[in-house]
Amino acid sequence: MCKRNCSSCRKPPPGCARCCAPSVVNCIFDLESAVFDTRHIYQRACIELVASYNRTIPEALLMRIAAMETQEMAELICHKCKIPLSWEMFLLLVNERAAEMIANPPLMNGVEKLLRHLDKCCIRMALVTSCPSELFLKKIRGQEELFELFCTILCADDPDLVNSLPKPEPDILLKAMHHLGEATRDSTLVFDGSLKGLQAANDARLPVIMPAERDLPCCWSELATKRLETLEEFQPEEFGIPPYKCDEPPPSPVKKTKQRKSKQTKGPRRNSVKSVKDEASEANEEQAGEEEQE
């Protein structure tokens, strides 16, 4: 029976199968395009908002925005549909509509199985998102337990990203690697279904898995290490991760605690969902204090 390689030592036991080779021991997931299937929800919110101005989004434009980041999507729609708003205001209104629709957003097919498998295999995981912490907490409401599997979470308003550039620049991926501790380019795998995410991973020289819609043109996924229709098609053993059929029990809590302590010594590390909640509360309190002073 296969014995999983633990990322704390990265040494497979003698005579272990190829699947335990310490290839990928860190994974970075994009929330909007690789964990939640929010692309259609954002499209619905955009269509409804544009319709309120007696305009429609052409089908060709809908196909283009399917793989875009929210900022680029807002800019393009405002320009092409001649919406009498700044793209910032348009995006704010879209986010408000989308927040109502995604109070409990659907997970991508296969992602929960993958996340739990990676956690059992001692794979360190980071989550990055283009939304601020307050919206992030709304999106994951009722599913906090699943998101506690991530070692680190980086929201758009994270203090560590103040001087960082958004995708397609690789800043957020490099920050996530730093938070993970000992992450290196040859041991880190990115999951991102957006075009800017592919470019960011490519610029960071990281391999990237792209969960893409079936009708997305093949030329748009040329930078992907592997393109999948759903994460159910992902084969962990292709990247040196134990396969799903591996039945070994997860590492003992003691080993896992030691591993996490070592990660903290390598750089700043968030305490996942709890830290996001704490920072969001602090931000709200500071804002309330400023309003009282005014």
Give 41-106 as a 3 state SS string: HHHHHHHHHHHCCCCCCCHHHHHHHCCCCHHHHHHHHHHHCCCCCCHHHHHHHHHHHHHHHCCCCC
**DSSP letter, residue 6:** P
pLDDT the model gives residue 86: 94
Provide the whole-model pTM.
0.72
Percent of the chain with pLDDT over 90: 51
Handedness of CA 171, 173, 179, 183 (dihedral sign): negative
Backbone angles phi, psi at 208, to 5 degrees: -140, 135
Q: Inter-axis angle of helices 39-51 and 70-80, to 10 degrees?
A: 30
The residue ranges of the chain whose pLDDT is under 70 are 1-22, 39, 66-67, 102-104, 247-272, 283-294
**Element containing residue 139 per DSSP (H, E):** helix 133-139
The rounded radius of gyration (Å) of the Cα atoms in the chain is 20
Q: What is the pLDDT of residues 209-240, one digit of tens each?
A: 999 877 778 888 999 999 999 999 999 999 99
Cβ distance 263 to 182 under 8 Å? Answer: yes
Separation CA 289–CA 53 (nearest Å): 37
pLDDT the model gives residue 292: 64
What the chain holds in terms of domains, given with CATH numbers, is: 18-37+107-283 (3.40.50.1000), 39-101 (1.10.150)
Count of positions (residues) in the chain = 294
Q: What is the pLDDT of residues 268-280, one digit of tens each?
A: 445 568 778 777 7
The beta-strand segments (E) located in the chain are: 26-30, 124-128, 152-154, 188-191, 208-211, 226-228
